[in-house]
C-alpha cells in the first residue's frame, strides 16, 4: 500500500472522499455531491442550492430501480407483496437506517441551529439527503451508476426471500376480535412535508386503550405504522 506523502501529514484527509468510498462512486462533478448534502437550513441567498430538487429526483429514481429489481428478483410475488416490500425500503425510517449505515449524517451541511438540534441524525433529514445523493450519482454518471448504488445499499434487502407475514392492521384487528373488542379505527392527526412528498401522522384507536400514532408517506403506510406501534405496546409478536 502506498504511503502518504509526509508533506501532507498535517492535512486532514478529504471527508467527501471517504463518503465516496462508502458509496462506491467517485464523482466527476463533486458539486453535485455537495448540493445533495446541503440541507435547506444551510442555504443562504446567492449561495449554492440546497438538496430539495435532488431529493425530488432521487425519490423517483430510487422507486423505479428498487421496483425493477424486486420484480426481477421475485418473479412469483404478488403485487401486494412487492408493494409492501418497496414501501418498507423507501419510507423515511428505512432510508434513515441506510443513511446511518453509511455514516451520511456527519457530511450533511446544516445551519448551526439545526446542527445543535441534532439534525444530522434526524430521520427526515437523513432520508432526504440519501435520496438526493442517489440523484447526484444518477446525474453524474447515469442510470447504471444509480443502479449500482442501489444494489450496494439495498441489494441484501431486495434479495431476501418473501415473508408471508400478515400486515400490522390485520394482526391488530385479529387481536381486538380475540378480545371481543370493536375493530380498531384510524384518525388522521397531521399532514406535513412538501406537496410532492407528504408525511401523514395517523392514530390507531382501540376501545379502552390510549391511542398510538404512526407516520408514513401515505395514509395507508401511516395506519400500518400506528397499528405496528399499538401491537408493540401490547407485546404482540411481529
116 is catalytic: no
Please, are residues 190 and 169 in contact by the beta-carbon 8 Å criterion? no
The single residue of 114, 131, 147, 215 carrying the catalytic annotation is 131
Q: Give the integer Cα–Cα distance in Å for 231 and 220.
A: 16
Please, are residues 183 and 176 in contact by the beta-carbon 8 Å criterion? yes
68 is catalytic: no
Place of cell 444509480: 146
If phi > 0 it is left, if psi is from -120 to 50 it is alpha, else beta; for residue 125 that is: alpha
Instruction: Find all residues with CB under 8 Å of 57, minimum gap 6, and list them.
Output: 135, 138, 139
The single residue of 35, 59, 114, 128 carrying the catalytic annotation is 59
Q: Give the integer Cα–Cα distance in Å for 162 and 95.
A: 20
Burial of 52: CB neighbours in 10 Å, binned 0-12, 13-18, 19+: middle
- Cα separations in angstroms, 193 against 42, 93, 154: 18, 15, 25
Instruction: Find all residues with CB under 8 Å of 142, minimum gap 6, and list them.
Output: none
What are the residue numbers of the active site?
Answer: 59, 131
Amino acid at each position: 500500500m502506498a504511503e502518504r506523502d509526509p508533506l501532507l501529514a498535517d492535512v486532514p484527509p478529504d471527508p467527501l472522499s471517504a463518503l465516496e468510498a462508502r458509496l462506491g462512486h467517485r464523482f466527476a462533478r463533486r458539486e453535485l455531491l455537495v448540493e445533495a448534502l446541503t440541507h435547506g437550513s444551510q442555504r443562504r441567498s446567492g449561495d449554492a442550492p440546497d438538496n430539495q430538487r435532488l431529493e425530488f429526483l432521487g425519490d423517483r429514481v430510487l422507486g423505479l430501480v428498487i421496483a425493477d429489481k424486486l420484480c426481477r428478483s421475485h418473479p412469483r410475488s404478488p403485487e401486494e407483496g412487492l408493494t409492501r416490500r418497496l414501501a418498507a425500503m423507501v419510507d423515511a425510517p428505512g432510508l434513515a437506517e441506510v443513511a446511518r449505515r453509511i455514516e451520511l449524517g456527519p457530511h450533511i451541511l446544516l445551519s448551526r441551529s439545526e446542527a445543535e438540534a441534532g439534525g444530522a441524525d434526524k430521520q427526515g433529514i437523513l432520508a432526504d439527503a440519501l435520496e438526493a445523493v442517489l440523484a447526484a450519482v444518477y446525474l453524474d454518471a447515469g442510470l447504471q451508476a444509480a443502479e449500482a448504488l442501489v444494489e450496494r445499499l439495498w441489494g441484501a434487502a431486495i434479495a431476501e426471500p418473501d415473508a408471508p407475514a400478515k400486515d400490522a392492521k390485520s394482526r391488530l384487528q385479529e387481536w381486538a376480535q380475540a378480545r371481543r373488542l370493536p375493530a380498531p379505527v384510524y384518525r388522521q392527526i397531521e399532514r406535513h412535508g412538501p406537496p410532492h412528498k407528504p408525511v401523514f401522522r395517523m392514530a390507531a384507536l382501540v376501545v379502552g386503550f390510549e391511542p398510538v400514532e404512526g407516520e408514513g408517506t401515505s395514509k395507508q403506510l401511516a395506519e400500518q405504522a400506528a397499528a405496528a406501534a399499538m401491537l408493540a405496546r401490547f407485546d404482540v409478536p411481529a
